[in-house]
Structure 1
Amino acid sequence: MAFTHAHARAETSSRARTTMRAIVCHGPEDYRVEDVSRPRPGDREMIIRIGACGVCASDCKCWSGAKMFWGGENPWVKAPVVPGHEFFGYVDELGAGAAEHFGVAMGDRVIAEQIVPCERCRYCRSGHYWMCEVHNIFGFQREVAEGGMAEFMRIPATARVHRIPDGISLDDAAIIEPLACAIHTVNRADVQLDDVLVIAGAGPIGLMMVQVARLKTPKKLVVIDMVPERLELARRFGADVVINPREEDAWPIVSGLTGGYGCDAYIEATGSPSGVEQGLTLIRKLGRFVEFSVFGAPATVDWSIIGDRKELDVRGAHLGPYCYPIAIDLLARGLVTSQGIVTHRYGLEAWDEAIRVANSLDSIKVLMQPENGRTLP
């Protein structure tokens, strides 16, 4: 990125500021736009100026008060906290040794993975950092660092940081985090060339899964969703068959594609417990069931289907480990796109409208953009 004297003056000015605007989560349905202290970097830490931060389905569930975030004696969310884990930004300030530690320079466009590994637990030490026992995630607990729905953000020393090439658009850069999750999920499905793969849920990440799965060239790619516009986008992204369960029964269609056996692999990305039961019906014996969704309520199913009746291979998919470089490369090569997925942008001050739209079917992906936020046509 080329720098001018104007850039230098702007950076000096931003570092001189002691406060910034941010969205602050105080509790369910209690998110406020406030002036808060601008973060400062410690050793091997950096401050980024946020370019954009996506509103995730988990952010919507957290805002709505889902028990998985707020329930119990030790709730997942430690309020007050600045939310947001789907962010990218520009290096604005570097602590001692941070440039060498992260391999970045002032002004670089970067993204940090959503988890901040502790680097001490058995999972981090064995390379399974995304299952870190401490499990600090940007935007949910403030002990390590707060989230990206702010003007600036501190990136701690144990964060996993990746540079973003200049050729990637703002909207594409903003979907790197969910795209990494999509890649990890599709990889967990172990898609084979002769597979009939069903992806249930054509939300933002589901639509990215469609694009990634298409690159795996399965025999048939089937997408299930109840929103016609999203099904049409899924078809544009490479789905061979789309099914709206409000209008047609999925089983006869999947059965017809598989000689009556059922799909080889099923990815559950609906966020609804009904998606689990549907998958157990559609999948063949010895099939691969991949669970990705974050549910707002428990899913209740007959577990004997998994063992006694079908002997299924049930796999989870959590975050996007080792997939950020792949996501960046796919976007840089134009093999995956945000076009049609990013539907709205808002400035921080418009949070109330942004969460209303994000929590509805009027949008697919909503971005919070501290500078020049606007609603897309």
Structure 2
Amino acid sequence: MKAAVYKGYGLPLEIEEVPNPAPKEGEVLVKVASTGICHSDLHLLSGELVGPLPNGFIIGHEIAGWVEKIGENVKNPYGLKEGDPVLVSWIVPCGICRYCANGKENYCKDNAKRLVGLIGINGGHAEYLTVPEIAVIPLAKNLDPYYSSPIACAYGTAYNALKSANATSGKSVVIVGAGGVGSAAIQLANSIGLNPIVAVDIDENKLKSAKLLGATHIINANENDARAKVLEALEDGADIVYETKPYPDFKLSLEVVKSGGTIVVTGLGGFSTLAQIPVTLFVSRGITLIGSLGYRPRIDLPDLVSLASSGKIDIKKLVSHIYTPDMINEAYENLKKGLHIRAIIRWN
């Protein structure tokens, strides 16, 4: 099969022919339709997240495709058959530990050693991949697998973050960063009934897209005093500020969240990324700060499939660029340049 193979730090991915994987016991072989180009991959390739990757590793953690083969002793609770469209979760919980039993499977300790396309399990920048069955979630038949891969990261990450911040109808939200995750958050905020929805970025094209996706206000932080502009729209500040930037600094978030409000963060940065918080401001205004990692695959992904299937979110609107596998390095370079909302690679 064709795959984009990691060759070392600072080197481009190489498209190679590698052996087709075969599902082991408890695994599912997936034929890949598309994989997303995510900023977390840049952190991964730079060594900021998990250190050097093993040569020959296949990245790509935002995946949709079809069931190709079901391995032995797969319990198959969804009744999947060969050819059925599916999402692949990059989070692979054990399903039985205390975290999993309490609806926090994104913090399952097993994830630390088996994150699809990130740690331990080859990812989806290939024509096929095998994953433990718990990572495979059915996709509605009326959704196109070629466009659905962002559900498995961008939408999932944004959805869990908003739920963690107790986002409910009528609350206001400021979304800092209008890339893939931020743009998904705008659509989801609309589906929940948040209002106003203020998008802040430094890229005018992303802001124009944010407006089309449902932002009630857009603010270019390069051309305006972002704090002043947000407070024009939200005199008392925002109920929720969602930091989606790859290197969150909290400066604007702390300036525009209302007293008693919540800041939720999903931008990873890297283990060396630090942020300063003015403690007196943080305490005296009763601000809640939440870190949110990914999503709960068996809870959040089915919810998102339902939202997309019913038309409450439009996943095709998120995809701004489509690349072929031989253009994968160009895709990551364009991501660095900020040219994408969300880009995908079509594999089959």
What secondary structure does 2:211 align onto?
helix
- Alignment CA distance shift 1:356-1:257 (3 Å): closer
Matching of residue 346 in structure 1 with residue 327 in structure 2: no
What secondary structure does 1:173 align onto?
helix
What secondary structure does 1:213 align onto?
helix
Q: CA deviation at 1:319?
A: 1.0
1:21-100 matches, within 5 Å, as 21-30=2-11, 31-63=13-45, 65-70=46-51, 77-98=53-74, 100=76
- Alignment CA distance shift 1:97-1:193 (3 Å): closer
CA distances 1:29-56 after superposition (whole Å, capped 9, x unpaired): 3322222221111223221111111111
| Fraction of identical pairs, as percent | 24
Write the distance in 1 (CA, Å) between the matches of 2:251 and 2:274: 8
Contact 1:171 1:338 in 2 (8 A): no
Contact 1:172 1:337 in 2 (8 A): no
- Alignment CA distance shift 1:265-1:54 (3 Å): same
Amino acid at match of 2:259: K
Amino acid at match of 2:307: L
Write the distance in 2 (CA, Å) between the matches of 1:123 and 1:313: 22
Match of 1:366 in 2: 343
Write the distance in 2 (CA, Å) between the matches of 1:305 and 1:113: 40
CA distances 1:252-271 after superposition (whole Å, capped 9, x unpaired): 22323343x32221000122
- Alignment CA distance shift 1:109-1:90 (3 Å): same
Q: CA deviation at 1:170?
A: 3.5
Q: CA deviation at 1:119?
A: 4.0
Q: CA deviation at 1:26?
A: 3.3
Root-mean-square deviation (Å) = 2.1
Match of 1:137 in 2: 115
Matching of residue 222 in structure 1 with residue 184 in structure 2: no
Q: CA deviation at 1:115?
A: 1.1
Amino acid at match of 1:39: P
Write the distance in 1 (CA, Å) between the matches of 2:80 and 2:207: 40
Q: CA deviation at 1:137?
A: 0.8
Amino acid at match of 1:232: K
Match of 2:253 in 1: 279
Runs of 4 or more above 4 Å deviation: none
What secondary structure does 2:315 align onto?
coil
Amino acid at match of 1:366: A
- Which among 257, 267, 288 is matched to residue 262 of structure 2? 288
Amino acid at match of 1:33: I
Mean Cα displacement is larger for which, 109-118 or 250-259? 250-259
Q: Between Structure 1 and Structure 2, how many residues are aligned?
A: 341
Contact 1:44 1:101 in 2 (8 A): no
CA distances 1:80-101 after superposition (whole Å, capped 9, x unpaired): 4110110111111122233745
Contact 1:180 1:326 in 2 (8 A): no
TM-score, normalised to structure 2's length? 0.90
Contact 2:323 2:345 in 1 (8 A): yes
What secondary structure does 2:330 align onto?
helix
Mean Cα displacement is larger for which, 302-311 or 181-190? 302-311
- Alignment CA distance shift 1:288-1:79 (3 Å): farther
TM-score, normalised to structure 1's length? 0.84
Q: CA deviation at 1:272?
A: 2.8
Amino acid at match of 2:87: I
- Which among 132, 138, 146 is matched to residue 163 of structure 1? 138
- Which among 334, 342, 346 is matched to residue 357 of structure 1? 334
Match of 2:244 in 1: 269
Write the distance in 2 (CA, Å) between the matches of 1:231 and 1:131: 33
- Alignment CA distance shift 1:22-1:331 (3 Å): same
Structure having the higher Rg: 1
- Which among 171, 176, 179 is matched to residue 195 of structure 1? 171
Q: CA deviation at 1:102?
A: 5.1
- Alignment CA distance shift 1:306-1:133 (3 Å): farther
Matching of residue 327 in structure 1 with residue 327 in structure 2: no
What secondary structure does 2:329 align onto?
helix
Match of 2:224 in 1: 248
CA distances 1:270-294 after superposition (whole Å, capped 9, x unpaired): 22334x1110111122111101112
Match of 1:238 in 2: 214
- Unaligned 5+ segments in structure 2 are none
Match of 1:318 in 2: 293
- Alignment CA distance shift 1:336-1:47 (3 Å): same
Amino acid at match of 1:358: L
Q: CA deviation at 1:193?
A: 3.9
Contact 2:247 2:273 in 1 (8 A): no
What secondary structure does 1:54 align onto?
strand
